[in-house]
Amino acid sequence: VRLRLLGSAAGGGFPQWNCGCANCAGLRNGAVAARARSQTSAALSADGERWFLLHASPDVRAQIESLAPLAPRAPRGSPIAGVLLANADLDACLGLLSLREGTPLVVVATRRVLADLRACSFARALERSTGPVEWRALELGESAPLDDEGHVRVTALPVPGKPPFYAARAASPEDNVALVLKEARSATSVVWAPTVARRDAALERALRETDLALFDGTLFRDDELARQGLGPRTARQMAHWPVGESLPWLARLARRRVLVHVNNSNPILREDSPERRQVEQVGVEVGHDGMDLL
Ligand SMILES: [Zn+2]
Please give the distance, rounded to the nearest whole angstrom, from the Cα atom of residue 24 to the centre of ligand 1.
4
Please give the distance, rounded to the nearest whole angstrom, from the Cα atom of residue 237 to the centre of ligand 1.
19
Using 50, 70 and 90 to split pLDDT, how confident is the model at 236? very high
Q: What pLDDT is attached to residue 265?
A: 98
Mean pLDDT across the stretch 208-216?
A: 98
Please give the distance, rounded to the nearest whole angstrom, from the Cα atom of residue 240 to the centre of ligand 1.
17
Please give the distance, rounded to the nearest whole angstrom, from the Cα atom of residue 225 to the centre of ligand 1.
10
- CB count within 10 Å of CB 188 equals 17
Please give the distance, rounded to the nearest whole angstrom, from the Cα atom of residue 266 to the centre of ligand 1.
8
Mean pLDDT across the stretch 49-78?
A: 97
Q: What are the backbone dihedrals phi and psi of residue 285, each rounded to the nearest 5 degrees, phi first?
A: -100, 150
Please give the distance, rounded to the nearest whole angstrom, from the Cα atom of residue 86 to the centre of ligand 1.
24
Please give the distance, rounded to the nearest whole angstrom, from the Cα atom of residue 39 to the centre of ligand 1.
13
SS (H, E, C) the chain: CEEEEEECECCCCECCCCCCCHHHHHHHHCCCCCCCECECEEEEECCCCCEEEECCCCCHHHHHHCCHHHCCCCCCCCCEEEEECCECCHHHHHHHHHHCCCCCEEEEEEHHHHHHHHCCHHHHHHHCCCCCEEEEEECECCCEECCCCCCEEEEEEECCCCCCHHHCCCCCCCCEEEEEEEECCCCEEEEEECCCCCCCHHHHHHHHHCCEEEEECCCCCCCHHHHCCCCCCCCHHHCCCCHHHHHHHHCCCCCEEEEECECCCCHHHCCCCHHHHHHHHCCEEECCCCEECC
Does residue 229 sit in helix, strand or coil? coil
* Residue 129 scores a pLDDT above 80: no
* Residue 131 scores a pLDDT above 80: no
What average pLDDT does the chain have?
Answer: 96
Please give the distance, rounded to the nearest whole angstrom, from the Cα atom of residue 25 to the centre of ligand 1.
7
Please give the distance, rounded to the nearest whole angstrom, from the Cα atom of residue 249 to the centre of ligand 1.
27
Q: What pLDDT is attached to residue 61?
A: 98
Please give the distance, rounded to the nearest whole angstrom, from the Cα atom of residue 18 to the centre of ligand 1.
8
Indicate the DSSP class of residue 140.
B
Please give the distance, rounded to the nearest whole angstrom, from the Cα atom of residue 20 to the centre of ligand 1.
6
Summarize pLDDT for 240-255 with one digit per residue, the tens: 999 999 999 999 999 9
In sign, the C-alpha dihedral spanning 285, 288, 292, 293 is: positive
Q: What pLDDT is attached to residue 73?
A: 95
* Residue 222 scores a pLDDT above 80: yes
